[in-house]
Amino acid sequence: MGPVKPVTVVEVIALLEEHVAREPGGAIAFDGDGTLWSGDIGEDFFEALLEEGNISELAHAALAVEAEAEKLDSSGGAVAIARRIHAGYLAGTFPEERVCEIMTWAFAGWRHDEAEAFAEKVLVNVGLEGRLHTEALRVVAWARERGVTTYLVSASPRAVVEQAARRVGIELGNVASATEERDSQGVIVASAVRPIPYGPGKVMHLRAKLGARPLYAAFGDNAFDVAMLREARTPVAIRPKPRLVERAAEVPGLLVLERA
């Protein structure tokens, strides 16, 4: 069973206004990739790193361990191993959540500010502004005008998600994303803070910020958004992927937002 009730932005905003009237002080939450914008900025960020080739020996060793754990060839350079891992993920043979973690710590050896500057260049090069979803931005704009907090909950790496958040008008303090571990000097190490905001981890990270306040609406596009969608008074799919459509019955009352 797929989403059965398409709604317009105007209709979603009307529902949100009802929630605000009944339960003041709540918030809304968005997934990022595929929801606020098309494509996956985590993959854009990772692919740009592979093209750059600036992968440290620390990251190289950790990539080899990850490949061996899934019985992939761990020989050769860091870029070759990373590409095998990515290919395994695209083929459905490498765990998606682990790939999200790898994309986060693949910058091991870089300082976080260096990764941020690199992320800014990546988003310019991929033309993120042209990939933003108008219907989602209209809801974000409504929330800003009404003083309703908007959270961005993404399994993509923090450096690139925060750069994207700036572009869509979401405060950085309201961003939950996959976050790399850093040493005492602020240098990225080859591990991520677990759990990352993926699947049930999205709800954990969101509730850490939201507390007991009501979640008026959640917006997602894929199967790993199901837990967060179920948490909301009004769950909304934006340009849903087939994997979310297949699991739509797990999200009572799921709406699908019409494209603007």
Query: In which element (H, E) is residue 75 found?
Result: none
Our CA angle for 221, 206, 201, nearest 5°, is: 70
For the chain, the average pLDDT equals 97
pLDDT of residue 3: 46
Q: Which two tokens stand for residue 225?
A: 């958004």
Given this model, what pLDDT does residue 5 score?
87
Determine how many CB atoms are found less than 10 A away from the CB of residue 183.
9
- Each residue of 192-216: pLDDT tens digit? 999 999 999 999 999 999 999 999 9
| H-helix or E-strand spanning residue 192 | strand 188-192
Q: What is the pLDDT of residues 10-21, one digit of tens each?
A: 999 999 999 999
- pLDDT, position 1: 41
Burial 80-94 (b: 16+ CB within 10 A, else e): ebbebbbebbeeeeb
**How far is 107 from 182, CA to CA, in rounded Å?**
11
Residue 4, pLDDT score: 58
- Is the pLDDT confidence value at 90 over 80? yes
In this structure, are residues 232 and 36 in contact, taking their beta carbons and an 8 Å threshold? no
Q: Where in the chain is the domain with CATH 3.40.50.1000?
A: 5-39+130-257
3-state helix, strand, coil in the chain (%, to 5): 50, 20, 30
22-70 pLDDT, tens digit each: 999 999 999 999 999 999 999 999 999 999 999 999 999 999 999 999 9
Residue 2 binned pLDDT confidence (cut-offs 50, 70, 90): very low
CATH of domain 5-39+130-257: 3.40.50.1000
pLDDT in tens, 141-199: 999 999 999 999 999 999 999 999 999 999 999 999 999 999 999 999 999 999 999 99
Instruction: Find the mean pLDDT for residues 107-124.
Output: 97
